[in-house]
Amino acid sequence: MEQRRILVTGGCGFIGSNFIRYMLLKHPRYRIVNLDKLTYAGNLENLSDLETHPNYRFVKGDIADRALVAGLMAEEKFHWVVNFAAESHVDRSIEDPAPFLHTNVLGTQVLLEGARGTGVELFLQVSTDEVYGSLPPPGRFTEESPLRPSSPYAASKAAADLMVAAYWRTYGLPVVITRSSNNYGPYQFPEKLIPLMISNALEDKELPLYGDGLYVRDWIYVEDHCRALDLILHRGKPGETYNIGAENERTNLEVVEIILRLLGKPRSLIRFVQDRPGHDRRYAIDPSKLREELGWHPETDFETGLNRTIKWYVENENWWRRVKSGEYLAYYERMYGDRLRKAEQG
Ligand code: NAD
Ligand code: TYD
């Protein structure tokens, strides 16, 4: 394909940084502009290997900044916009939903407005299976499942999805929405389950499992997600929604037990702590549409992906030790201090 100019937002976060690295390796002629506000979750270190890449440009800024977004769109004349930028952590959204509305809802609308009338050929909204809410087995979410978000995070992502769909129906802006299940892999911020448990286990610290630990998530290796997004950018149909999942449902307890086994750490590190309010019991994605229409399938099984992820955290201890300082320490105490003390008291 001819050269593409792509605006990637939130590229200094977990999935965004993996996506930019994946795209520049696979399509070295494509130009990528990364617009990121560098919140607590955004880390320039995640892309330090690409700083001097001739087709990469970093812009520090907020996706909700109308003037900045309009200026960038006019200057760069993007073919594609891929919107990863978000407040992404459910527990933080329970503490304070306001930043989730600012970035996930208003920010998405500002980007859509910026893209309108500037020749953007595809606006890809990176969404989540959490917009569907919780699901008892054996059902799985299809693209037709109703939106029933539980957390303020999920509600803000669902609101953004509806605004994206409105820009398609009202203004004919070519959009696609992708809804992926839980991702894991290198560069994930250690507030999320898998990197929190790996880094705590490496430090011989307690592993706090919410409630009975039998909540189910459907895990996908981040590179498989990035490959799906690449495929959808090239071959996806405007106006469509695509679920992305690897058919890999696990209880949280099972995930933690595998991590402990792979690291050779004792099960006695596990603590069952007070549950998250409004905690969705189960997510499960049906990825048939992506498989049947675009021929996508996951390439990394869970054991292989977890092994790779653990190896990355073992080899990049400096990365997570730096991340787990400063603001993180206050966050950890707010989130887990009382929970862990209560668990110790039995
Ligand atoms: P992350 O928290 O690791 O990264 C978010 C990035 O967005 C950070 O670099 C941050 O600085 C940036 N950002 C935040 N607010 C911004 C703003 N106002 N303007 C510009 N940049 C801003 O998140 P992630 O886990 O990489 O998730 C990326 C996207 O994928 C999100 O939209 C999320 O909803 C979605 N998603 C994530 C998962 C998952 O398992 N992590 C699953 C499905 C969908
Ligand atoms: P998380 O990584 O926050 O993703 P999400 O809530 O968006 O799916 O959590 C994944 C699962 O792990 C979820 O069921 C909550 C649970 N969990 C814990 O049990 N303990 C923890 O410390 C964290 C962060 C999550």
Comparing C-alpha atoms, which of 120, 109, 118 is closest to residue 66?
Answer: 109
Q: Is 84 in the pocket of ligand 1 (CB under 6 A)?
A: yes
* Amino acid present at 9: T
Residue nearest atom 29 of ligand 1, based on CA coordinates: 84
Q: How high is the pLDDT of residue 346?
A: 76
* Separation of CA 264 and ligand 1 centre (Å): 31
Name the residue of 12, 14, 242 whose CB sits within 8 Å of the most ligand 1 atoms, as the mutation to test its pocket.
14
Residues taking part in catalysis: 129-130, 153
**Domain locations in the chain?**
5-184+219-244
Query: Is 140 in contact with 181 (CB distance < 8 Å)?
Result: no
Residue nearest atom 13 of ligand 1, based on CA coordinates: 85
Q: How high is the pLDDT of residue 238?
A: 98
The answer for residues whose C-beta is within 8 angstroms of residue 38's C-beta and 6 or more apart is 12, 44, 60
Other Cβ atoms closer than 10 A to 231: 16
Name the residue of 9, 12, 15, 182 whose CB sits within 8 Å of the most ligand 1 atoms, as the mutation to test its pocket.
15
Comparing C-alpha atoms, which of 41, 345, 340, 342 is closest to residue 205?
Answer: 340
Query: Is 171 in contact with 113 (CB distance < 8 Å)?
Result: no
pLDDT one digit per residue (tens) for the chain, 346 residues: 689 999 999 999 999 999 999 999 999 999 999 999 999 999 999 999 999 999 999 999 999 999 999 999 999 999 999 999 999 999 999 999 999 999 999 999 999 999 998 999 999 999 999 999 999 999 999 999 999 999 999 999 999 999 999 999 999 999 999 999 999 999 999 999 999 999 999 999 999 999 999 999 999 999 999 999 999 999 999 999 999 999 999 999 999 999 999 999 999 999 999 999 999 999 999 999 999 999 999 999 999 999 999 999 999 999 999 999 999 999 999 999 999 999 998 7
Q: Write the DSSP symbol of residue 1.
A: -
Query: Is 241 in contact with 287 (CB distance < 8 Å)?
Result: no
In this structure, which topology does domain 5-184+219-244 adopt according to CATH? Rossmann fold (3.40.50)
* Separation of CA 183 and ligand 2 centre (Å): 12
* Separation of CA 193 and ligand 2 centre (Å): 5
Q: What is the pTM of this model?
A: 0.98
Q: How high is the pLDDT of residue 117?
A: 87
Name the residue of 88, 92, 150, 193 whose CB sits within 8 Å of the most ligand 2 atoms, as the mutation to test its pocket.
193
Q: How high is the pLDDT of residue 1?
A: 62
DSSP assignment of 264-328 equals T--GGGEEEEPPPTT---B--B--HHHHHHH-------HHHHHHHHHHHHHHTHHHHHHHTSTHH
